[in-house]
Every structure is written in C-alpha cells, then in structure tokens.
A and B are shown apart, each in its own frame.
Chain A
Amino acid sequence: MVTERRKQSEAVFRALADPTRRDILAVLRRGRHSVGDIASHFRTSRPAISKHLRLLRSAGLVVSRKQGTARICELNAKPLRAVNDWLADYEAFWNESLRGLKRYVEEEQ
C-alpha cells in the first residue's frame, strides 16, 4: 500500500491539516489575490500568512507570480486529486479484504 502518490498526498494532507490554510484556500477559490489582500481577511499577522502560503505552494495547492511589487496567488486544486486516489486505495483494500473474508469463512463451512 506504499506508493509514490501517497508521498505526494502526505504533503497535501499536511497543508490541509491547518484551519487557517483551509480558509486561505477558500479565499482563493473566489479568485486571484495578492498576499496583502489575503492577509487582510485574517487576524493572523502577515508573516504568518506568508508562511502558510509557502507551505501551500510547496504542496502545489497555490501558485503565485510577481506583478510589480505584489505577489499574486492562485488556487491550484489538482493536487487534491491525490486525496481522492488515497481514498480509492482504501476502497480497493476493503473490497479485497471483505471478499477474502467471505471466501475464507464460507469455504470453511
């Protein structure tokens, strides 16, 4: 059950584990925003928001580019697919296991 995409999904899970980071994604879902704009939605300090954004970028959930002096951030939801794949692996695991249980118990009868 150890696959490359699990490693990828780990970074996504880590990024999503924090409520502030999820709120940042919610802000970005409504469109592109500068770092200053995003920070204005939160009581948290701007350096703290920048730190959250760095983590979201490293997980691939946020992409950003420079525009003049501002840094514009955008949501990239593609890595969330890893979460779905991760659940799909568990589905496959339980499907197989329950079938195995049925086979094992019924054949013994």
Chain B
Amino acid sequence: MNSTRADDTIVKEITIRAPAERIFEALTDPEQRLKWWGAEGQYRGTQMESDLRPGGKWLTRGIGRGGKAFNVSGEYREIDRPHVLAFTWLPDWEKDAPESLVRFDLKERDGITTVRLTHSGLTSESSRAHHQGWPQVLAWLQAYAEG
C-alpha cells in the first residue's frame, strides 16, 4: 500500500484483484461495508444507514476501544458509479474538529482495480478560509519532534 501525507490530507492507494463495480458495491452497500470497515480488535461498525445519492446522508454506529459506542456521519457529495465516491466525515467524538472529506477513486484495468483513498481537510478550516496557518503549524511540530 502506498501512502502519503501532506499537511492535512491522507492519501492511500491499494490494488484489489476485483472489478471496480464489485468494490463500489462493497463501499456503498451498508451490509457489506460493515464487514470490512474498521480495525479488528479496536473498533468495528455495528449499524449503517445510507441514502446513496448526492446530498443524501449516511451514518455508521460502532463500538470502539473499551466497548465505547461511537458514530460517524456525513453527506454524500459525489457519486459516479463505479469510479468516484465522495462523502463528508463528521465523527461524534471530536467536538470541534472541522468537517473533513473522504473520497474514493477507483480505476479498473483488466479486472484489477486501484483504489485511491483521499481524506482531506483533516486538520484545517482551509476548505472554507484557505488559511495558510496549518502547514506552518505542522512544520513547527515536525521541527520540534525531530529537534
């Protein structure tokens, strides 16, 4: 798996031996999504509601570390089956975190699909204000952590 991290964005790519349509289904069908979403032994989804259309809402409930309940919700922003799926991400455990955006890009070739995940806007309000403050803050952090 390739991954990069720039300022407030996480990008990950994984190759899956399956057609894009099959993966798109696993991403969007609530029953299927609960089967792979999360991290074993740490947190898992228990319930998902999904209104799959642009502007439609989604919500996943789950159990986290120590058996604590959590939920993540959002709104679908872009649906281009089976190529693009984008939705906003609002976790209930981060009161002041800004709304971030999760995007899956699927590229199929000979039955093998490259899935690229982009989670952006994670630490910034930049989507609204285009502020340059965050890259600076993270650069400081790096300097201090390494110093």
Contacts and interface: CB of A to CB of B under 8 A. Distances in A.
Given A80-B141, A87-B5, A105 B38 contact: no
A16 B39 contact: no
Main secondary structure of the interface of A (DSSP, over half): helix
13 contacts: A2-B93, A26-B136, A84-B145, A87-B10, A92-B39, A96-B38, A96-B39, A101-B26, A104-B26, A105-B23, A106-B17, A106-B18, A109-B17
A96 to B, nearest CB: 4
Contact of A93 (B39, B131, B145): B39
B91 to A, nearest CB: 7
Interface string A1-31: 1110010001001101101001001100100
Main secondary structure of the interface of B (DSSP, over half): mixed
Going nearest first, the 9 A-B pairs with the smallest beta carbon separation are A96-B39, A100-B36, A22-B133, A104-B36, A80-B141, A77-B144, A2-B93, A105-B18, A98-B14
A2 B38 contact: no
A83 interface: yes
